[in-house]
Amino acid sequence: MNQPERAVSHLEVLRRLGRADAPSLLLLGDIYTNQNLNHLAVAAYQEALGLERPATAAQAIRIAGTLTARGQFDDAVDFIGRIRTSFPDLEDRQELELLNLEAEIALAEGNEEEAAEILERIVDRDPMNGRALLTLGNYYAGQEEFEEAAFFFQRAEALPNFAAEAFVDHARMRVAQQEFGDAVRLLRRAQEIRPRDNVARYLEAVERIYQMRRL
């Protein structure tokens, strides 16, 4: 019997005796997760949340993140609901973590409108969330709501860690609108911040089209 199997055997004995505490059940769930025994892992996680002394909110949110990252979206949604029931007074930071997970799940399942609604709640709480701003910009660009998209791109452009990506995404939208001069300006800004070969090639192509349109 290898070490994980011995650990599982020991933890399951504690569990059957009603002596497994939250850390033990979380460890058991993590071992089952590593063994791809997803239904057993989820059961252990849920049990840890239902104890008289349950797992902490931070531990529970970590589990929700793990389930989301593994593509177990139904389990993740269920677990997020349990977290909100068990911890009605989450810190703002923790509530934002759950909202980000919910948006990620909605996007992965193709529920773009639902994701956009969640992301707008995120940026209301966290105006500097560059990833949410970019995702909203691209969502509204895809809906051809260009003014709304530009609003979110411009907010992301003001954030140093997201500016280069925001300028490129904004430029792509301007190309789709055939506003090539604006696209060139935006791409040049992106290159000033973080030069990249693929963006340079894209800039050259857009510049050629822009010059041809001006003839």
* Residues 8-46: tens digit of each pLDDT: 887 888 888 787 888 889 898 889 898 989 999 999 999
Residues of the chain with pLDDT below 70 are 1-2, 215
Hey, what are 33's tokens?
Answer: 């997760």
Which residue in the block uniquely carries the two structure tokens 């509204």?
A: 140
Q: Is the dihedral of CA 24, 77, 69, 56 positive or negative?
A: negative
What domains appear along the chain, each with residue ranges and CATH number? 1-55 (no CATH), 71-126 (no CATH), 128-215 (1.25.40.10)
pLDDT of residue 50: 86
pLDDT of residue 161: 96
Q: Is the dihedral of CA 9, 14, 16, 20 positive or negative?
A: negative
